[in-house]
Chains A and B, each alone.
Chain A
Amino acid sequence: MDVNIMPLLPTVQVLLTALVVVVRDLFIEEHQPKGYLAFISLLGIGLAVAEILGLWGGQEGAFADSIILDNFALYFSLIFLLAASLTILSSIHYLRQTGIHEGEFYALILFATVGMMLMAAANDLLVFFLGLETMSIAVYVLTGMWRASERSSEAAMKYFLMGAFATGFLLYGIALIYGATGSTNLNLIGDFLVEQPSDWPVYLIGGGFLLLVGFAFKVGAVPFHFWVPDVYEGAPTPVSGFMAVAVKAAAFAAWARILLHKLSPLDTDWVFPLWLIAIGTMTLGNLLAVTQSSIKRMLAYSSIAHAGYLLIAIVVGEEWGGLPLLFYVSTYACMTVGAFAVLTCVAEGDDAHENYRDFAGLGFKRPFLGLAMSLFMLSLAGFPPLAGFVGKFYIFRGAVMSGYIGLAVIGVLNSLLSVIYYLRVIVAMYMEEGGTEGKSFGQAPYVYIAIALAVIGTIYLGVLPAAALNWSREAFSALD
């Protein structure tokens, strides 16, 4: 059999980097500085990004088409790598402060990224499952890495139990689909659905629903969202950002390829439940976010709400929802990673500085942090001309285009609700006094770099989205 390993190149690149980090870490003495492990990781990520840019436009399958590296996979890989690199940048200082082991931390971020890249490229339910587990296990460990913190351990336990539960659903769904169609390869399953357009066994539809439930768990959609706030709150702050962005993006990538695209003949059965889930996710996420006093917890609920907006794109279907989904994920990545990075910069190691009152007066004490956080909050709330607005605009446009006007109206009303709590952060930063100092650039330079990059992304995607939109289009249309 002819084995083409080109499609695995970026993934293997990241995997090798992770191994180098792990091995190099073993040979560093206990009290030696380990900071350069972060730069090894960043270098590996940079190489992988370069490979992705080089491979852009191609479409190659490997291992009997169980992995397909097309623009879709490349697009999502870019987002994962971007999120991973910003997470690494914003954790360098944080790790030293909290005493989390650096080598393992960076390696686990990279392992999780490998899993995500596999998920985005998977054209076989089993490969998808492998990717998912690689990612999930790495992230379970990351969540609990701050061993001195009880909350961190609690979060890891919760996440692990809930995640295992969701994995069970997914695996059972995969088994049922395999039983009905006789294959785990998505191409063959797709052919089966097209050749037999009706008369499907009940357990095929049941399998589809189980997959749906599994995905809903992973993206934190209502009513499977209970773990999200506790886990995000307890995890080390950079990890929370990584989960909110990259893990969610990976789940949506797989969702888009498997359910939205390949299994789309089944969607008449699940469109209505999904519609309900989308509305519930947006509304509950936003309502609960309003009541939070901790910004970290608010961001957790806000990430639930944003999963709801993304679900609108899923409900709308691949014709009008595909491109907005991809574009929204990239806008969401910039602003959310940025917001968590600012949070990292304000928090003083311990959990005490994540509340609104700790942000009081930050806008004048640390003008850059204040400005950046304001931009992220305004963008998350959907103010033009920032990334979040353009993303939402295309999602709502897709909904209107395909006739889901009610969904679009509920979506915009939810945006209105979200303005309340996002602006509260700005109120605290600019209109109140007291609170913590936050770290200066001198104290934590790399976080500032991460924040600056996220700011640039947030503004760029808002003001000049044409190029990124084009990329999203090329990526989504690469799905055959």
Chain B
Amino acid sequence: MFGLAIGHLSILLAIPVLGAGLLLFTPRRQTPTLFALALFASGLDFLWSMKILQLFDGKSGDMQLVERVAWMPAFGIQYIVGIDGISIFLVLLTTLLMPIAILASWSVQDKVKEYLIFMLLLETGMLGAFVALDLFLFYVFWEVMLVPMYFLIGVWGGTRRIYAALKFVIYTMAGSLLMLVAIIYLATRYAQTEQALTFDLLKLYGLHLPVDQQGWLFLAFALSFAIKVPLFPFHTWLPDAHVEAPTAGSVILAGVLLKLGTYGFLRFAMPLFPDAALAAGPIIVALAVIGIIYGAVVAMMQSDIKKLVAYSSVSHLGLVMLGLFALNLQGVQGGLYQMLNHGLSTGALFLLVGMIYDRRHTRLIDEFGGLWKQLPVFSVMLMVVTFSSIGLPGLNGFVGEFLILLGSFDVRPLWTAAAATGVILGAIYMLWMFRRVIFGPLTNAANEKLADLNSREICLLAPILFLIVLMGVYPQPFLQRMQPAVELTLKRMATITATPVTTDHGTRRESKRDGR
């Protein structure tokens, strides 16, 4: 089979590009064909990722389905891709959200062809960043992602799209270019100590650098990822980009792109520079907690629903960072779980906001009220997603938040307590928004003729809602597959740092929770 020659992950990366290539040669007038093609390519990629999940061995923490091809052999640059328990679900999240985002783009009428091409290229960029195991390759995908997103915001965005798009690119590049220097320096140090040129992540993990060098390198990596997350105070690009982006762009931006920041911490910044990560822990946690509370407070003050959701992302991702830097199993696992939760619930929130915007051409909370009677299906969906977002037990958000707080409480009880108040604030602004939009009397006459969700919209929300419930009541299949990889990452950090990381402790807690 040709799968032997080209590995599974390469096919995963190739499908969207091939789809984009087909689109390039499709006449631009045939809008339905264009959509069908894009949907087909992204759907096929989703099915392919399911096949990868099937092949994936959840008991192993190692990289799987690894492919290595020499790319620039003289400089030790290789094409290495692989997947483990940390990246597999993020890959699945990407492949799941992409067809949904394309299906949600029905309202795009202008320049559909280019729009869909950029969406598919974006998918390859994101997937590539999740599976790349060579730092050079990772950097390439990391930057490649920027270009389609830049176009998506800049061409199909709102009124301040050009400003938002440029800000997005400049912020992201500011971080990533310094990371490039750090990557080069890291490879240089490896070349000096091991006499071999390589950008292979798995080999670079074994490099033990002195603490002061780790500090600088960590700083460069962390800056790049912190901007992407975004960690307070690097978040200012996010509200602009989110608000101006078209619906599908916001879904992908919030659902997947932000995860690349947290993923970057977990995959690169932390295990490559464990001492520095440990030393920087308190600062990052402080920024994360400030972000949680600040994001929540600012979200509460917003009159525009989309802006509210955007600021809630700052708050939620702060929570993810809190979990990651607890550096124990529950914390990291919770953080990883919360990444998926945020991808699903915020993705769904942006979709719902987009649907209501398509009908009313406004997103101001004051314009709505009493939609319950007029739009029952919409209201129910918004309710489920709101509950997921605030972490109601029984839905996915709870599992993630609980694990994060549990893991973090062991290490930093005070900061965790502060973060917990942020979670409460989150419940307040979400429920308040929900009440103002859905309940109360239907006073605004413009809302009286609104049509409820059509079958296409229900279809594209259904898988997300299904997962929200599934991940809430039955998290075990997910957590189980994450665990070995997370443990391996923590072990990597622990063997290098002298400080013991409470993995035993963590496992005990974990089993206790399972037995509950």
Q: How many residues of chain A are within 8 Å of chain B by beta carbon? A: 31
Report 5 cross-chain contacts, Cβ distance below 8 Å, ordered by A residue: A383-B143, A415-B177, A420-B166, A423-B166, A469-B72
Q: Given the known inter-chain contacts A397-B184, A423-B150, please indicate yes or no for A412 contacting B170, CB distance below 8 A.
A: no
Residues of A near B166 (CB, < 8 A) are: 420, 423, 427
User: Which residues B117-152 have CB closer than 8 A to chain A?
Assistant: 136, 139-140, 143-144, 146-147, 150-151
Given A423-B150, A423-B169, A470–B178 Cβ distance below 8 Å?
A: no
> Is A405 interfacial (CB 8 A cutoff)?
yes
Complex: chain B residue closest to A467, CB-CB: B72
Measured CB to CB, the closest approach of chain A to B30, in angstroms, equals 16
Name the interface residues of B175-191: CB closer than 8 Å to any CB of A: 177-178, 180-181, 184-185, 187-188
* A409 touching B181, Cβ below 8 Å: yes
User: How far, in angstroms, from A423 to B164 measured CA to CA in the complex?
Assistant: 13
B178 partner, pick from A383, A412, A430, beta carbons under 8 A: A412
How many Å from the CB of A242 to the closest CB on chain B? 29
User: What 1/0 mask marks residues of chain A from 376 to 390 whose CB sits below 8 Å from any chain B CB?
Assistant: 001000011100010
Report chain A residues within 8 Å CB of B177: 412-413, 415-416
Flag if B71 contacts A466 (CB, 8 Å).
Answer: yes
Is B392 an interface residue, CB under 8 A from the partner?
no
* Interface: B5 (CB within 8 A): no
- Indicate which residue in B111, B140, B174, B187 contacts A385 across the interface (CB closer than 8 Å): B140
Q: How far, in angstroms, from A409 to B74 measured CA to CA in the complex?
A: 24
Contacts of A423 in B (CB 8 A): 150, 166, 169
Residue among A394, A415, A426 with the most chain B CB within 10 A? A426
The answer to whether B162 touches A431 (Cβ under 8 A) is yes
Choice from B74, B146, B151, B173 contacting A416 with Cβ under 8 Å: B173
B136 surroundings in chain A (CB, below 8 A): 393
Partner of A412, one of B146, B150, B151, B181: B181
Q: Which residue of A lies closest to B161 (CB)?
A: A431
| A400, B181: Cβ atoms closer than 8 Å | yes
Closest to A384 in B: B140
Q: Which residues on B sit within 8 Å (CB–CB) of A389?
A: 140, 143
Interface residues of chain A: helix, strand, loop or mixed (majority) = helix
Residues in A whose Cβ lies below 8 Å from that of B14: none
Closest chain A residue to B139, Cβ basis: A384
Q: Could you mark each residue 389-406 of chain A with 1 if its beta carbon is under 8 Å from any beta carbon of chain B, else 0?
A: 100011011001100010
Is A393 in contact with B180, judged by CB distance below 8 angstroms? yes
Is B147's CB under 8 angstroms from A383's CB?
yes
B121 → chain A closest CB, angstroms: 12
A366 within 8 A of B: no
Q: Does B391 belong to the interface (CB within 8 Å)?
A: no
Pairs A-B, 6 closest by C-beta atoms: A412-B177, A384-B140, A400-B184, A397-B184, A431-B154, A384-B143
Q: How far is the CA of A396 from the CA of B184 in the complex (A)?
A: 8
Docked complex Cα distance between A389 and B143 (Å)? 10
List, in ascending order, chain A residues with CB within 8 A of B139's CB. 384
At the interface, yes or no: A19 with Cβ under 8 Å from chain B?
Answer: no
Known: A405-B181, A409-B181, A427-B166. A465 touches B72 (CB 8 A): yes
Tell me whether B155 is interfacial, beta carbon within 8 Å.
yes
Q: Does A93 contact B (CB under 8 A)?
A: no
- Cβ of A430 and Cβ of B184 under 8 Å apart? no
**A383, B72: Cα distance in complex, Å:** 18
Considering the complex, give the chain B residue whose CB is closest to the CB of A381.
B173
Find chain B residues with CB under 8 A from A47 CB. Answer: none
Residues of A within 8 A of B74 (CB): 466, 469-470, 473
Q: Is B73 an interface residue (CB 8 A)?
A: yes
Q: Return chain B residues, CB-CB under 8 Å to A383.
A: 143-144, 146-147
Name the contact of A419 in the complex, choosing from B170, B178, B180, B187 (C-beta under 8 A).
B170
Given known A427-B162, A430-B151, contact A466–B72 (CB-CB < 8 A) = yes
Q: Which of B73, B143, B184 contacts A466 (CB 8 A)?
A: B73
